[in-house]
Structure 1
Amino acid sequence: MYLYVGSYEQASKPGIRRYRYDAESGALTYEAGFSGLENPSFLTANRAGTALYAVSETSEGEVAAFGIGPDGELRPLGRRSTGGAHPCHLTLSEDETRLFVSNYSGGSVAVFPVLADGSLGERSSLTSHEGNGPRADRQEAPHPHSVNLTPDGRHLLVPDLGIDRVAAYALEGGRFERIASIALASGDGPRHMAFHPTLPVAYVVNELSCTVAAFGTADGDPAAYAALGTVSTLPAGYALDNTCADIHVSPDGRFVYASNRGHDSLAVFKVQDEGRLEPAGFAPTNGKTPRHFAIAPDGRFVLVAAQDSDAIRVFAADAATGRLEEAHRYDSIRRPVCLTFVG
């Protein structure tokens, strides 16, 4: 299995790095770097592991496609303009015929057809969000921060940090139509989402309020999502600067993790009945600014990209308690901000 690491980097330097991942030990072995793309800050791959897609988070805004060879080597398949500034997240449709991209500064969501060879066709749609929020420094305009496919593949949910809402788009039959808007609390700044593997529950991590909001999704209609409660990602009394970044559910569905930048930790929550969350502690990331993290497919290890420490930390996860214990540390990895397993 490979781990591809995206970063904030100049095009002349290797912004995407490939590591061999040992599932038994959690160890990483560096194999190669790929240059030529500025700020490949978010990556995603198809299920077959034959294609990788990367944003180029710049003011011009591009998305790049790569073929993945048997040895993990990347073969460029072309680029497309995303139609908006600073694309920051992307995901494939359930049938992998479309790629969705969120333009953070552009305030829009772009859609591209995926061609038979894995390359991208001309952009088929560009939908702009409207509005703002109470935080003039961060919510002066819409800022869609991620694109999240629902488990049934019928909807795309887009948390918009700038307007405190999650926009819901219908995808069935080739559609891309906004059908609902899920409100968060004023000033929350919703950023990323995760879905429980067995319960009808979605979790939203709020960057600005440093909270996780849970929603019941039983009937599958985003317009009917029911709020299940909100929990803080920080210890009681913590008053220093912090913003949240990423969120994931353990493969067995027992724990939810959310990353804190400032407190530099992963908040750990135990999943209760109906998907509600109970705080279960904090795992120091032993590195600054954990912008992104990934849970290994078997759930045994959690890998953290510590952006401002130029480091990746690997933690062994206790299946019974959710506690994390550092197993490996890798330094001198310039500004890692995305970790993607392939294979």
Structure 2
Amino acid sequence: MTKTNSGRFFEDYRLGEVIDHAVPRTVSGGERALYHMLYPARHALHSSDAFAQDCGLPNSPMDDLIAFHIVFGKSVPDISLNAVANLGYAECRWLLPVWPGDTIRSTSEVIGLKQNSNGKSGVVYVRTTGTNQNGETVMQFVRWVMVRKGNLDAPAPETVIPDLAKVVEVADLAIPDGLSFENYDFTLAGELHRYGDYKVGEIIDHVDGVTIEEAEHMMATRLWQNTAKVHFDVTSRPDGNRLIYGGHVISMARALTFNGLANAQMMVAINGGAHANPCFSGDTVRAWSEVLDTAPTSAPGVGAIRLRLVATKGGEVGTLKAEDGKYLPHVLLDLDYWALIPI
């Protein structure tokens, strides 16, 4: 009897299957410190207990993307161990803050399958849910991933592509209990720009760049317990390169937005996202954002801002796709998300 896990292949997934992922993870202040070491993350709400308490929270919650990486990482051994690439996201919502001491686990449901025309791989769509030690859902997202076939002769499943919402509605954004920006300290936050200072269509160049290092990427994927072979094993890709985990690019780009969007304190939803081109060690990641929408919320002094975050490895700010609709080669990430910002 085989006791090791070589990972699932495309033909091993069944529509409607629910997979409980192994090894719950208890988080601590260590994750916060390591996160801030790996990325230039400086948003005040995730950095200071005192600042968070002035905003109505009991303490500073874990960075939103820490929760994302942990929930995502738990799913990798069952969903994307034999992945070619993670392709995109939709219907992502943070529903409860994650606090130091919380224990996070993940479950995924297969909601779509589509074999590729080459017959060598297929796309698996899953809805992944992260819960805490109380059984409460802390976040949920849909992602789709290209997975190799283990048996090229395995029959193709019926194609099912889920109908996914293009945007998470403002009314469906989950705002943490007690959050208020009425006593918000703009000096401590690092910038004066508030909700009304941002206009739909405005493009913000975040100016700074960070060169991706192999060692930091390896540390990050190990921190999130992401075991996808393409991130570790140079024999997993024909070009012999280790693919940089897409979430590493998301965190790097989000951290870079501090310069220009320091007051966009919390990510509360991802409407959609695509890893447009692969990222490798040595690439220098830069970022720009486009304001897509703004809306008030029911929380005191809290507004919502919808942003398109684009990570690149060069190229002109504001350029995204060619005339044929395909992403330009310098574009790494195209992410559409909602954040909370003081009014």
User: Which TM bucket (shorter chain)?
Assistant: under 0.3
| Larger Rg over CA atoms | 2
Q: How does the TM-score come out when normalised to structure 2?
A: 0.24
Higher relative contact order (CA 8 A, sep 6+): 2
Q: How does the TM-score come out when normalised to structure 1?
A: 0.24
Instruction: Name the structure where helix makes up a greater proportion of residues.
Output: 2
